[in-house]
Amino acid sequence: MKKTWICIAAVVFLTLITALAAGCTSRAVAAEAAQSMIELSKQGVARIDSDTATLDEQLYDTQVDIQKLQQVLNPALEWIDYQKTISRPGKWDITVRESGLEQFQNDVFGITQLEVVITRDSLQVVDYTPTIKVIDFRTSQTDNATELLNSLTASKDTLEQNRGNLVTARDLSVATVNNLLKYVNDWKIKKVSGANYNISGPALGWSGQLTSGTWEFNREDGMLLPKDKPAEDLNAVILGE
């Protein structure tokens, strides 16, 4: 990542030195604007990295919860499967007593109800209805264990997808700025007033890929403002939004 920024900064620096040596204000303005775009991308990358770190923590916590829940749920499911193998025709309601539930718990979750209603004929199980309830010792909240597992798994999938989107946005921001710098010398510079300039030309807009756009640039504070829709869309890409 550092090498990428060094290469980008080197291109801008060489462009700026060349422009100043030739006494070309327009090229110098273009180089300064390009440097501001690099700073925009750095801001976007920093935000994305912070958001990614937050998601990583949430994802880790969710994965741990899933593992902890499976530690108590899987033996409960095995107990239910075992009950289904016992040959006892008719309808039976089998429940684990409270004292027996201690074996279905860890430091985070504990089974509070383990029951199965089994109906079978002389040959096989015709129907069965399991009930597994679990308590989260941290919150004292009780839920259906299977539903809780499904909820945690869905949360994990969403977090992983969001993280992937952030990584894609980060990569696109850096790659886009790297590519648009190739067109710095093709940008048209027009002074508006004071330190304000209009900058337009290729690779200053976005429409699924780099296209033409228009920006306003202030040399004093380095502020870049998009002036048309393609420039606004490019701004969003550079910021990783």
Question: For residues 63 and 161, what is the distance between their CA atoms, to the nearest angstrom?
Answer: 14
What is the count of structural domains for the chain? 1
What is the residue range of 62's domain?
Answer: 58-159
* Structural domain includes residue 101: yes
CA 210 vs CA 62, 175, 235: distances in Å: 38, 11, 11
Lookup: tokens for 72: 């108590």
* Structural domain includes residue 52: no
Residue 24: predicted pLDDT: 55
* Structural domain includes residue 177: no
Residue 2: predicted pLDDT: 45
Residue 85: predicted pLDDT: 86
* Structural domain includes residue 107: yes
> Which pTM value belongs to this model?
0.79
* Structural domain includes residue 152: yes
* Structural domain includes residue 173: no
* Structural domain includes residue 98: yes
Residue 17: predicted pLDDT: 43
- Cβ 125 vs Cβ 118: under 8 Å: yes
Q: What is the mean pLDDT of each run of 10 residues along the chain (241 residues)?
A: 45 44 69 91 94 97 98 95 87 88 95 91 84 96 97 98 96 93 92 92 94 94 94 94 87
